[in-house]
Amino acid sequence: MRFKRIEEKDIRVLEDSIGRDRISTGISNLKLHSLDQSHHSAHMPELVIWPVNEEEVSFILNYANHNMIPITAWGAGTSLEGNPIPVYRGIVIDFSFMNKILKIREEDFQADVQPGVIYQDLNHSLRHKGLFFPPDPGARATIGGMIGNNASGMRSIRYGSTRENVLQMRIVLANGEIIDVGRRSQKSSSGYDLLRLFVGAEGTLGIVVQATVRLWGIPEESSSILVSFQDIKMASKAVYEIIRSGLDPVCLEMMDSACIKVINRIKGLDLDPYETLILEFHGSSKGGVKESVEFAQEICDSLNCETFLSGIERDEYKRIVDARHFLGEAIRKNHPGRLHTVLDVAVPISAFPEMVSIAYRETKDIDVPAYIFGHAGNGNMHLAFMVEEQNQREWRKVNEIKDKIIKKAISFGGTCTGEHGIGIGKRAYMELEHGRGIFWMKKIKRLFDPNGILNPGKIFP
């Protein structure tokens, strides 16, 4: 890449157009935008800009494109694969000031938002309307960032990932051109699906400046369940059997005993320190939900679960879910001084028990702290390690294990990343996973961004 370094005259042009108060070369701002929540090395941008509207974004991209300056879009910096780290420096566009909920279209179960909206804030605004936006990556992510990574979380088993919950977007392309993709109707067969091409592209094809997201009604009845097992293989088998049986949980999470111990300690909970499943069923009637719970209990009992706690109180359940959301941070807090690296494979559900077995086998005797958890119900397994920064032996071992598990997941027909994106860390697996497909992805990249200014150094090996 032959990018240009930013000079005084570039800054003057940008200041003239954007205003001096929303452009910074201050070291603390550059540092704040140099790393995400992954272990990937920090890279400071040369400039941070906080635009307030799409015209400014368009101006910045057009200018950067003409001058070969890298552009990286920034939401909240909560991603886990280095996705927004400006590895080639240049400009980081921070969307904090484009954080308006523009319109709640209650009658259509839709909301128009700017990319800087934090998804929890959107859900907070919606709570009295009985509506919610389901993808929930946990951290205080922005909707723009979630679109970039096709983020998902605990509810995706029922409601899909971000990709399935965005209807329309306004995109600024590398050349500054602004296009609308998608429609507000629930279905369409009109031309090529540009919308879903931009979702999950990690800001390498264009930058989203507005989105219409899909909302759902909050269901009337729900029941929350905690199941614990002595044996993680049985827990993962229960996951498969529950899905296989045709039950339709809205949440089916797994945490191993190490995770449970951490959240007990950091969040002051008192959960049984075993291999644990969190299950939730929704429905329009108490009867329907009750039957689902009973069916799930039969399955778990037959697999020798230790405890099966159903009908957990709403407050208690919220504490558990909050703890689950906080798990990544809790793990990091539990090992000060170590770096966090997390695996994010997803496989067809029948392969989930084997993935968990491999993860368990590979990590049980190593001296690097390791945690197995994930959105089990859609075959998405995480394996987090806390590694000593300077310990080459630990890194080598951890990378060996990650490599083995990722290759296994791909061999099962799965993917090297269920929800964190490729970023920096998974680029090495693109070819194995996509074969010749990656060649066509590159061609699409060059089509939309011929100068390669948009988030360079990501996705492609």
Residues 362-391 that bind a copy of itself (CB under 8 A): 378-380
Q: Footprint of a copy of itself on residues 292-311 (CB under 8 A)? A: 292, 295
Beta pairing partners, 217: 131
Residue type, 106: E
The SS3 of residue 103 is strand
Q: In terms of DSSP bridges, do strands 207-214 and 251-255 run parallel, antiparallel, or are they unpaired? A: unpaired
Only segment of 11-19, 23-31, 44-52, 424-432 that touches a copy of itself (CB under 8 A)? 424-432
Among 127, 286, 333, 393, binds a copy of itself (CB under 8 A): 286
31: tokens are: 């540092």
CB of 220 to a copy of itself, least distance (A): 8
Q: Does 336 bind a copy of itself (CB under 8 A)?
A: no
Q: How many angstroms separate the CA atoms of 382 and 376, rounded?
A: 9
CB of 431 to a copy of itself, least distance (A): 10
Q: In terms of DSSP bridges, do strands 71-74 and 91-94 run parallel, antiparallel, or are they unpaired? A: parallel
Q: How many angstroms separate the CA atoms of 153 and 148, rounded?
A: 15
CB of 151 to a copy of itself, least distance (A): 7
For residue 348, give the nearest of 253, 413, 280, 257 by alpha carbon: 413
Q: Does 103 bind a copy of itself (CB under 8 A)?
A: no
Among 61, 232, 339, 347, binds a copy of itself (CB under 8 A): 347
Q: Does 231 bind a copy of itself (CB under 8 A)?
A: no
Q: Does 433 bind a copy of itself (CB under 8 A)?
A: yes
Nearer to a copy of itself, 45 or 421 (CB): 421
129 contact partners, CB below 8 Å, separation of at least 6: 104, 106
Only segment of 70-78, 114-122, 170-178, 301-309 that touches a copy of itself (CB under 8 A)? 170-178
Residue 137 contacts residue 78 (beta carbons within 8 Å): yes
Q: Does 128 bind a copy of itself (CB under 8 A)?
A: no
Q: Does 105 bind a copy of itself (CB under 8 A)?
A: yes
Q: Does 177 bind a copy of itself (CB under 8 A)?
A: yes
Q: How many angstroms separate the CA atoms of 214 and 85, rounded?
A: 29
**Using CB under 8 A as the criterion, what x/- string covers residues 67-96 for binding a copy of itself?**
------------------------------
**Using CB under 8 A as the criterion, what x/- string covers residues 404-423 for binding a copy of itself?**
-----x--xxxxxxxxxxx-
For residue 47, give the nearest of 77, 19, 27 by alpha carbon: 27
Question: Which one-letter DSSP state was computed for residue 430?
Answer: H
Residue type, 314: R
Residue 220 contacts residue 176 (beta carbons within 8 Å): no
Residue 307 main-chain phi, psi, to 5 deg: -135, 150
Only segment of 63-71, 227-235, 395-403, 436-444 that touches a copy of itself (CB under 8 A)? 436-444
Q: In terms of DSSP bridges, do strands 207-214 and 221-229 run parallel, antiparallel, or are they unpaired? A: unpaired
Q: Footprint of a copy of itself on residues 186-205 (CB under 8 A)? A: 186-194, 196-197, 199-201, 205
Nearer to a copy of itself, 52 or 211 (CB): 211
CB of 423 to a copy of itself, least distance (A): 9
